[in-house]
Structure 1
Amino acid sequence: MTKTSYVLCALIVAAGMLCCGCTTTTTPEDPAATRTITDMEGNRITLPAKGATFGVFGGPISQVPYLLGANASIVAVTKGPQMMEMMQEMDPGIIDKPAPRTTNGNVNIEELLVANPDCVIAFDVDGKIVESHTDIPVIYLSGTMGDGFDEMRREIAFMGEVFGKPDRAQAYIDYLDGTLAFLRERTGDIPDDERATVFLGEGVSHLQTLGGDTFFAEWTEAAGCRNAVAGIETTLGQQEGMHTGINEISMEQVLAVDPDIIIIDTGSPTELKDDSRWKELGAVKEGRVYREPTGVFLWSRPSAESAVLYPLWLAYNAYPDRFEDVPLTDRVKDFYAEIFEFPITDAQAQKVIDGTYGSVTFGQVKQS
């Protein structure tokens, strides 16, 4: 092959990878020495072509290297996912990794420098902190609490290119699409005015919620339900970053919508029956208050895990007669085995469903 042919081949390969967000560049000294990533904000970052190490800053995205089979390259993690009970079952070694990032905007620079990753994968707030205090390059992700299924597909595809695992990324996307198609098949014929309304009540007050401008609206719609507070925009006026979207509404607003289903992330559903305010709601009277599941991370965030399992879990609870032929435990077990290559038992699947795995709320470890 002529020298000109080699150059043309290299250009073709580079152009193909650029479409996916990554390009591979060469140097005269070592043709395989480096590659260049074009991140989701359009920045170009140069990394070792092989053996690059990463810090991953963010709760929901911390699971992505695992579903890609690339977690061995992670040398700095986020504290919240590190302390999740199920995450530690999947990867016992995560507890020994440095966790310089605790919550959004809180990064221990000294600990990060000791870990010394080749780059950090982060959203805007954490990424700017890393860039302003270190020389470690940052691969920026583009995401908010308003992101839905399309953004999830885009993020997973991009991360697949970053870690050199495009096939694993596509396998997840196919699994997500298959689950959504299954739910449409089972719930698509329910008239709009008969779809169950759902209220997510987080925190000790059960009044912190996700409105119609958040991912939760899409998750509930995929389950054949409706977000009871879809008319409320909770992303407005909140802090930057991935915690944007959580807002506290009044008890009067909850009473006004009188949801068919209530989901809580703290306390017990039975406690609402003894509360003079909550016991008047139809969902409480009918025993349709559920503890929010947790797995390798909180489901109240737009993660790869929650995008598949939250709509599935909600649909099973909202319309149990439509899913009698396939136990939910089987669906949950299949997801972790197929996507994370993490086989779990019936008992573990039930812990996920019941929300009894140890969870993290606002950076504090909380056991059920």
Structure 2
Amino acid sequence: MITDSAGREVILPDNITTVGTYGSASTRFITYLDAVDMLVGVSSNDKTVDVDTEGRPYMLAHPEIVDLALIGTADSFDAELALTINPDVIFLTTEDAAAANEAYEKAGIPIVCFYPYDPVTQFDKFSQSILMMGKVLGKEDRANEVIEYFAGIKADLIARTPDIPQDEKPVVYIGGVGNRGPHGLQSTKPEFIGFTLLSANQKAAGIASNDAATIAKEKILEWNPEILFIDLDTSGAAGGGALLELKNDPSYQELAAVKTGNIYAIPPDTRSWTNYGTSFANAYFVGTVLYPEQFKDIDAKLKADEIYTFLVGDPVFNQLYKNTGSLAYQKVDLSTI
């Protein structure tokens, strides 16, 4: 018996060899725990992959996932489909106990709620979720390795951050953050991991949760960021996204970052929930920009591949780089956009 992310006590079979996942976050963590070989069914989010546009590292590393059986659409779990493959257990990406109980009543297959808590602001819950999944899969040693890896990255980033008063740091802003689709410059992430761990001078901090928030254009102009980071998910936004806004909008051209050319691109970390490997790789790149002396030993692209290799088993940065316009981890010249 285990206690899942919804606080439910779930009785499990003695020998678990096959699992299904409903929700991309559960599938992602299955890959983190090196248990793809146990996976037999997924939801529709994980049934498509285009290697030329895909932004999820775990799907680039494991495109074979798309060939697995379907057990639900983006809107609902399908008990009849699940029963056609009858996995030993199904992970549901939710904290909703009622939804999990309803799924169990329909399918009769043990349903385990899994929730991908933030590894920075909710590290204890994050660790508990991974350990719980590891216990179900018989991957407890690997679960502990993943937890220790994330803890080590956090500690390294914090240790590299110099003790500088906030008012002496440049004002930073991240724009173009994806949120159920691509958006322009006004879409940001107030608890962006790269800013939080590096104690960056981000004026948007605390405005909302880790999810994306929309900032009024007037507020961005008031903050007048000296360094801009652009999430490349924005390239699919209406009108071309944040980079074209910075290039063509006269008011944005007055921003300090635009005048000095301090505009940097990062790959998107939000595709079907948060890809935490990319979040931490982005944090290292941000560190090289904000604190070049403290991060002089870091090549962000190589660091990304180190992280991806550990988490998903394959160094997929080059493909991710191509898939997001070959702009990631560099300064952007707006005249070339």
* The two structures share one fold, judged by TM-score above 0.5: yes
1:205-224 alignment, distance < 5 Å: 205-211=184-190, 216-224=191-199
In structure 2, give the amino acid aligned to 1:136: I
Measured in 2, the distance between the counterparts of 1:290 and 1:305 equals 19
Measured in 2, the distance between the counterparts of 1:354 and 1:51 equals 42
Residues 92 and 41 of structure 1, relative CA distance in 2, 3 Å threshold: closer
List runs of 5+ in structure 2 lacking aligned partners: 236-240, 329-337
1:118 is matched with which residue?
88
The answer (yes or no) to whether the contact 2:20–2:90 under 8 Å persists in 1 is yes
Task: Find the partner of 1:97 among 46, 61, 68.
Answer: 68
Task: Find the partner of 1:70 among 23, 29, 35.
Answer: 35
In structure 1, give the amino acid aligned to 2:88: D
2:110 is matched with which residue?
137
1:36-51 alignment, distance < 5 Å: 36-51=1-16
The answer on 1:168 being equivalent to 2:142 is yes
2:205 is matched with which residue?
230
1:53 is matched with which residue?
18
The answer (yes or no) to whether the contact 2:46–2:65 under 8 Å persists in 1 is no
- Cα distance per residue 1:252-288 (max 9 Å; x no partner): 2222222332323212664121123432322333333
The answer (yes or no) to whether the contact 2:58–2:312 under 8 Å persists in 1 is no
Q: Describe the SS at the equivalent of 1:55.
A: strand
- Cα distance per residue 1:79-133 (max 9 Å; x no partner): 3355453444412311211344444x44344433434323321203563663464
Measured in 2, the distance between the counterparts of 1:131 and 1:226 equals 47
Measured in 1, the distance between the counterparts of 2:70 and 2:82 equals 8
Measured in 2, the distance between the counterparts of 1:306 and 1:347 equals 13
Q: Describe the SS at the equivalent of 1:298.
A: coil
Task: Find the partner of 1:198 among 148, 160, 173.
Answer: 173
1:275 is matched with which residue?
249
Measured in 1, the distance between the counterparts of 2:283 and 2:305 equals 16
Farther off after superposition, 75-84 or 181-190: 75-84
Measured in 1, the distance between the counterparts of 2:297 and 2:320 equals 17
The answer (yes or no) to whether the contact 2:45–2:272 under 8 Å persists in 1 is no
The answer (yes or no) to whether the contact 1:117–1:136 under 8 Å persists in 2 is yes
Measured in 2, the distance between the counterparts of 1:108 and 1:282 equals 52
Measured in 2, the distance between the counterparts of 1:318 and 1:299 equals 26
Measured in 1, the distance between the counterparts of 2:298 and 2:132 equals 33
Residues 208 and 347 of structure 1, relative CA distance in 2, 3 Å threshold: closer
The answer (yes or no) to whether the contact 1:291–1:354 under 8 Å persists in 2 is no
The answer (yes or no) to whether the contact 2:284–2:298 under 8 Å persists in 1 is no
RMSD: 3.3
The answer (yes or no) to whether the contact 2:117–2:126 under 8 Å persists in 1 is no
Measured in 1, the distance between the counterparts of 2:287 and 2:323 equals 15
Measured in 2, the distance between the counterparts of 1:251 and 1:275 equals 11
List runs of 5+ in structure 1 lacking aligned partners: 1-35, 236-244, 358-368
- Cα distance per residue 1:203-251 (max 9 Å; x no partner): 333323333xxxx35542213424431141258xxxxxxxxx3343321
In structure 2, give the amino acid aligned to 1:65: I
Normalising by structure 1, what TM-score?
0.70
1:327 is matched with which residue?
299
2:162 is matched with which residue?
188
Measured in 2, the distance between the counterparts of 1:291 and 1:128 equals 43
2:131 is matched with which residue?
157
In structure 2, give the amino acid aligned to 1:206: L
Task: Find the partner of 1:261 among 223, 228, 232.
Answer: 228
How many aligned positions are there?
A: 305
Measured in 1, the distance between the counterparts of 2:165 and 2:217 equals 28
In structure 2, give the amino acid aligned to 1:120: I
- Cα distance per residue 1:118-168 (max 9 Å; x no partner): 332120356366346433332113456795434323322222222111211
Q: Describe the SS at the equivalent of 1:157.
A: helix
Residues 95 and 224 of structure 1, relative CA distance in 2, 3 Å threshold: same
Measured in 1, the distance between the counterparts of 2:296 and 2:248 equals 32
The answer on 1:337 being equivalent to 2:309 is yes
Residues 46 and 177 of structure 1, relative CA distance in 2, 3 Å threshold: same
